[in-house]
Chains A and B, each alone.
Chain A
Amino acid sequence: MTGTQDDGSRTGARTEEPRTTGSDDEALLPELVAHLREHRTKLRQQWVSRIREENLLQAMTSQEMAAETTSVYDNYVEVLETGSVAALQQYARDLSERIIPRGVETHEVVGIVLLLRDVLARSLFEKYQRDFGMLNRVLDAYEPAANRIANTVAVSFVDERERVIRQQQDSIRELSTPVLPVRERLLILPIIGVLDSERARQLTVQLLGGIRTHRAKVVVIDITGVPGMDETVANHLVQTVDASRLMGASVIITGLSPDIAQTLVTIGVDLSKMATIGDLQGGLEEAERMLGYAPSRPEGAPAP
């Protein structure tokens, strides 16, 4: 995290013209900060109107916009003053947490920070335009700090978004492979959606664990809702079936779509050891027969 920001600031500094003077510049930042504090209201309003012009952050009401822009502005100036991005980082993360669920995009966040950078740079131009040497030095002091801020905010936002994505992936993964005991010693695993290798691995873990916990003898895996399957996943499924057998459970696969059936035969997966039955209903009937339950369908009724 810190490493990234340091890199950013170094990159920012490297793109600068070589500095002509040393110690004088150190005194410039406080002066700059004082200027920005003094014109806070005016500059902030300019910034907000720029944001409006660019149609950014439309998810926010004007009150929220006022509150957030004030905080960002103050944080921004504080970073210029102290040179420490820690507080800004924290704020940016909180802000991201608040606005990500409302659909604010990366370009908007980066956009508003860059706008603020430009608004402030413009005001510095105005202030120092009569003294070109001074303006140069002020910008030398301002630009690296400003770049560093933009970098920090963007990285915090992206980090936060990735965290949200990871969290969602985890919950999807947990939900994706339910193991349902329907009768004593009979489990059903309905699988819906694309079965990639990560999910197939998850399926194996859940299934074998489920066999142990529920002391299952028969497992019905229903893949009616799986649109397609590649060779790796198909082989994984065959291995899972074999492993279940080692644990004393028989597996019945139901609901192979025509597409999947075609794929499996074409790629030559060895399916001889897999028990497959057309649909879930047939699979359950077969499972009940194996477990010695009376058939749930009256004799003479048409087979599926």
Chain B
Amino acid sequence: MTSGPRLFSILRQGAILIASIHTALDDTQLERFRADLIDRIGHDRAKGVIIDVAALDVIDSFATRTLRGVADMARLRGARTVIVGIQPDVAFVIVQLGMDTGSLVTALDLEEGLAHLAAVTGAPIGPGR
């Protein structure tokens, strides 16, 4: 794993983890992100994960695959994942380049993502458990 500043943050809100990516991540950073997030799911006993990509103006095929991988791994560890904040042109490029988004669940923004997770997991969104 590389050292250096982390370009993402993972916050806990009730039973939900909110992971924000702050800037375009290179492949190493993406792997670190994946490892950290999967780790935290077990650690925090999270039932839901929100990955906020609103700050990204490019999402390439590796990033798409990584996000899909995170969602699948999270599911295996008992948490549902929602990707939120995909920008309009990013969304179109992802589709146009035929990147397989497979089973990824997406929502417009953080608020929508939280509402979706509350509905599917029944997890309380307020503080504490």
Residues of A whose CB lies within 8 Å of any CB of B are 204-205, 208-209, 211-212, 215-217, 239-240, 242-249
Contact = CB atoms under 8 A, between A and B. Distances in A.
A246 B84 contact: no
Contacts of A249: 108
Given A205-B88, A212-B88, A248 B108 contact: yes
Contact of A243 (B83, B95, B107, B112): B95
Given A212-B87, A239-B96, 6 more contacts: A211-B88, A215-B112, A242-B95, A243-B91, A246-B83, A246-B91
5 closest A-B pairs by CB: A208-B88, A248-B108, A243-B91, A248-B107, A246-B91
Contact of B94 (A205, A216, A246): A246
B95 A247 contact: no
Interface of B: 83-84, 86-89, 91-92, 94-96, 101, 104, 106-109, 112
Given A246-B86, A248-B84, A240 B108 contact: no
Contacts, number: 52
Contact of A211 (B89, B101, B104, B108): B108
Contacts of A245: 106
A240 B94 CA distance: 11
A204 B106 CA distance: 18
B96 A247 contact: no
B4 to A, nearest CB: 30
A70 to B, nearest CB: 55
Contact of A215 (B83, B91, B108): B108
Contacts of A248: 84, 106-109, 112
Given A239-B96, A243-B94, A215 B109 contact: yes
Contacts of A204: 92
B115 to A, nearest CB: 10
A272 to B, nearest CB: 15
Q: Is the interface of A mostly helix, strand, loop or mixed?
A: helix
Contacts of A242: 95, 101
Nearest to A204: B92
A211 B87 CA distance: 10
A216 B88 CA distance: 13
A242 B96 CA distance: 9
A242 B98 CA distance: 10
A245 B86 CA distance: 10
Nearest to B112: A248
A217 to B, nearest CB: 8
Contacts of A212: 87-88, 108
A243 B21 CA distance: 20
A217 B83 CA distance: 15
Nearest to B86: A246
Contact of B92 (A215, A216, A217, A243): A243
B89 A239 contact: no
B89 to A, nearest CB: 7
Contacts of B104: 246
A188 B112 CA distance: 20
B106 A247 contact: yes
B101 A246 contact: yes
A249 B91 CA distance: 12
A204 to B, nearest CB: 6
10 contacts: A208-B88, A209-B88, A215-B112, A239-B92, A239-B95, A240-B92, A242-B95, A243-B91, A247-B91, A248-B112
Nearest to B116: A248
Given A215-B109, A242-B95, A246-B95, A208 B84 contact: no
B49 to A, nearest CB: 16
A244 B112 CA distance: 14
Contacts of A205: 88
Nearest to A212: B88
A215 B83 CA distance: 16
Interface centre among A204, A215, A243 (most CB of B within 10 A): A243
